[in-house]
Amino acid sequence: MNKKRLLWTLQQEAKNRLEAIGWKEPLKGKKISADTSYYSVKNLEVCKDLGVDAYVPDPQFRKRDIRFADAARHRRSVDKRHERYKSKKRWFSVEDFKLDDHSGKLICPAGKSLYVKNRNFITPNGYKAIAYQAPKSACHDCRLRSKCLRNPNTVSRQVHVIYGKRPGSITDEMKQKIDTEQGRRIYSRRLGIVEPVFGNIRTCKRMDRFTLRGKIKVNIQWMLYCLVHNIEKIMNFGKTYAMCPG
Ligand code: SF4
């Protein structure tokens, strides 16, 4: 499922479960944080509607954080190899499409004209854009298809040319919140709260793929792993408590 819309489902499920054990308005005023892949207008609006105090940073938030100014020095060679691989696998981006000032049309690298599909398009990150679409007939036999369309089944290319940002948008509010000292502190806590859970289940419990198929069986397998993880936590917490009862 697309993470850009997933926060609603996650929060609704958490709310239902907590209400089932007697909590009243369990999410109202609570702090939640989610990583950058959850950053979208839709998700932020859902948090606002539920009265949740959310901390969901945009993908560029580390570039604005002075603590990460020299983070590149820690980059491992494996990352550089990955970058080289990525650079070979480059698809045409919006910069490869040229706007014809005379006709007002967008021209693709194959010289075809894209038509305006939506002049008031809002991107998932809250930018105002014009959405252009290539005619199906142009892309169908195009010799540059493999460099233009990531998914071979896509019928024709769509390009969004960004020209502004909605004033006072919900995404601007989130950026300002994340850039504060408190915002950074709250967001970085998720590294210690939730990432070890995935690290434990995936590495220590060796659950790096589901061995069952189908939504119901996969769900059961996932819940069994979570059950074991939680029993382990209770066991370890009990041990720690017994050693330091005070
Ligand atoms: S796939 Fe379509 S949009 Fe892309 S270069 Fe070819 S004709 Fe142009």
Domain check: are 154 and 100 in the same one?
A: yes
Q: Which domain holds residue 22?
A: 1-56
Which of 9, 30, 56 is the last residue before a domain boundary? 56
- Does the beta carbon of 112 lie inside 6 Å of ligand 1? yes
- The mean predicted confidence, pLDDT, of the chain is 86
Ligand 1 atom having least distance to the Cα of 157: 3
**Per-residue pLDDT at 5:** 74
Residue 8 falls inside a structural domain? yes
Who contacts 215 (Cβ-Cβ below 8 Å, separation ≥6)? none
Residue 156 falls inside a structural domain? yes
Band of pLDDT at residue 242, cut at 50, 70 and 90: low
Residue nearest to atom 4 of ligand 1 (CA): 148
Residue 244 falls inside a structural domain? no
Residue 68 falls inside a structural domain? no
Virtual torsion, Cα 82, 85, 89, 94, nearest 10 deg: 50
Virtual torsion, Cα 234, 237, 242, 246, nearest 10 deg: -130
CA distance 43 to 127: 15
Residue 13 falls inside a structural domain? yes
Residue-wise pLDDT tens digits, 134-175: 999 999 999 999 999 988 899 999 999 988 777 778 888 999
Q: How many structural domains does the chain have?
A: 2
Residue-wise pLDDT tens digits, 31-60: 999 999 999 888 999 899 889 999 999 988
Distance 147 CA to ligand 1 centre (A): 9
Q: Which SS3 state, helix, strand or coil, does residue 138 take?
A: helix
Domain check: are 109 and 160 in the same one?
A: yes
Where does residue 132 rank: exposed (0-12), middle (13-18), buried (19+ CB within 10 A)? buried
**Per-residue pLDDT at 246:** 44
Domain check: are 49 and 99 in the same one?
A: no
Domain check: are 52 and 98 in the same one?
A: no
Pocket test for ligand 1, best of 91, 105, 133, 149 (most atoms within 8 A of CB): 149
Residue-wise pLDDT tens digits, 71-96: 777 776 655 555 555 555 578 999 89
Domain check: are 100 and 161 in the same one?
A: yes
